[in-house]
Structure 1
Amino acid sequence: MKKYVLGLMFALISFGVSADAAKGQEYYLEYLRPYFEYNGQEFAEQHLKVEWKRYFKKDGARFIKKYSKKHPNAAEFLASDKFQEIAPHIKDFAVKYAADSGELPSCN
């Protein structure tokens, strides 16, 4: 019984801290699209799943470096605390709809 309760608690804790691709889609449209000017599908399909995962390692350092260079007008936002807050959700969105995912987001 103890193992069952501990397992359930672990599952609930893990679920509570996970990122959300749907939120990532909303955050992309609200915060990043004005800078990047790609629709959600164009953004996510720029890379494969494994590439997106690499870009978001170490607090998104590679993503910030690449997209700050590619879109200098976004550099300040990408360096902000707000971006760090939404980055896990953006990552989940990008991975879910990556070029090799076979899925299409329903956003423009």
Structure 2
Amino acid sequence: MKKIILGLLAAMMSFGACADAAEGQEYYLEYLRPYFGYNGQDFAEQHLKVEWKRYFKKDAKRFIKTYSKKHPESAEFLASEDFQKIAPHIADFAIKYAADSGELAACN
């Protein structure tokens, strides 16, 4: 029983537990949109929820690799500590408004 409770607590404290889609939306608009050029909805709809989860696994390595190639001008920022701090929020935003989410992001 003790192991189950500890496991649940660890799961709650993992990657997405502290992320916030609203913050992610703000961070996307402020930091990534200037590099990528997509509005928030177009960005989030590029992938399904499961795909976004894969992109942001393991310190967002797949996201960084893919989007650094797509948008070379963003590579330095994506490789920075600043990006690592906001990545969980960006992930939560992208997952919440993914192509298969049925939700629309209200951002330009």
Under a length normalisation based on structure 2, what TM-score does the superposition of the two structures give?
A: 0.85
Q: Secondary structure at the match of 2:18?
A: coil
Higher Cα Rg: structure 1 or 2? 1
Write the mapping of 1:76-95 to structure 2, written as runs, cut at 5 A.
76-95=76-95
Q: CA offset at residue 79 of structure 1?
A: 0.2
Structure 1: gaps of 5 or more residues = 1-5
Whole-angstrom CA distance in 1 between matches of 2:70 and 2:105: 23
Tell me the secondary structure at the aligned position of residue 65 of structure 1. helix
CA-atom RMSD in angstroms: 1.8
Q: Does 1:27 align with 2:27?
A: yes
| Residue in 2 that maps onto 1:52 | 52
SS of equivalent residue, structure 1 residue 61: helix
1:36-75 → structure 2 map (5 Å cutoff): 36-75=36-75
Whichever residue aligns with residue 79 of structure 2, its letter is A
SS of the residue aligned with 1:106? coil
Runs of 4+ in 1 over 4 A off after TM superposition: none
TM-score by length of 1: 0.85
Identity of aligned residues (%): 78
The amino acid that maps onto 2:75 is: A
**Residue 103 of structure 1 aligns with which residue?**
103
Distance (Å, rounded) in 2 between the aligned partners of 1:33 and 1:59: 20
**What is the aligned residue count?**
98
CA distance in 1, matches of 2:22, 2:68: 24
Distance in 2, matches of 1:38 and 1:19, equals 22
**Unmatched segments (≥5 aa) in structure 2:** none
Partner of 2:107, secondary structure, is coil
Which amino acid counterpart does residue 88 of structure 1 have in structure 2? P
